[in-house]
Amino acid sequence: MTTATLPPAALAALPPRAPAVRWRGAPDFLVRPAREDDGPALAALSRPFARAGALRERPLAAYLSRASDFLVAQAPDGTLEGGLGLSEHAADGVLYNFCVAAHRQGSGMGGRLLQAAFARARGRALTMLFTATTGSGRLFLGHGFVPTRPDLAPAAWARTLDPDRNARVLARTL
């Protein structure tokens, strides 16, 4: 598989690190790697976003077989309230299926999931992260992502993008 990278001029324009995220007190949730038995909860968490068109519909089997891709945000009672997948494509990574329960949006949970994904990606020696969004992308943009062309993303992933969804592709160096 060939992995496309951004040209040097585009790389120079990307911020080297995400801005620091300030927290008010200790968060009341835990960010951790997902386990296979989190598959049903990830599917349930993702379902409303898929129905609204913000995420692709994925079968439960996809969450079960790819659970190791995910980081999850878990409430003290064990409920999963956020999730984010990170797939690897040579030296690049793709963030996908990012969702935070409606009652948790604006709480910092999304930012914590992104920070954990950045740490995981760095630990795996990935140099670029890509994602696609049908929304504003505000959280991604606030964490150093910039719009880019789909042909600069990992080819295997870019081929799966549905042109009817009008998703914007974003990239960030690590």
How confident is the model at residue 26, as a pLDDT? 52
Q: Is residue 3 part of a domain?
A: no
pLDDT reading at 16 higher than 90: no
> pLDDT per residue over 38-53, tens digit each?
999 999 999 999 999 8
Is 22 inside any structural domain?
no
With respect to residue 2, please indicate whether it lies within any of the assigned structural domains.
no
Look at 163 and 123; give whichever has higher pLDDT: 123
Does residue 23 lie within any of the structural domains? no
User: Residue 118 domain-assigned?
Assistant: yes
Residue 114's domain comprises 8-17+28-173
Question: What confidence score (pLDDT) does residue 162 get?
Answer: 87
- Whether residue 138 is contained in a domain is answered as yes
**Domain assignment of residue 37, yes or no:** yes
DSSP code string of the chain: -------HHHHHHS-SSPPP---SS--SSEEEE--GGGHHHHHHHHHHHHHTTSS----HHHHHHTGGGEEEEE-TTS-EEEEEEEEEETTEEEEEEEEE-GGGTTTTHHHHHHHHHHHHHHHTT--EEEEEESS--HHHHHTT-EEE-GGGS-HHHHTT--GGG-PEEEEEE-
Q: Is the pLDDT of residue 7 over 60?
A: no
pLDDT of 82 over the 90 cut = yes
Predicted local distance difference test score (pLDDT) of residue 163: 86
Q: Is the pLDDT of residue 18 over 70?
A: no
Across the range 60-68, mean pLDDT stands at: 95
What's the number of domains the chain is made of? Answer: 1
CATH of the domain at 50: 3.40.630.30
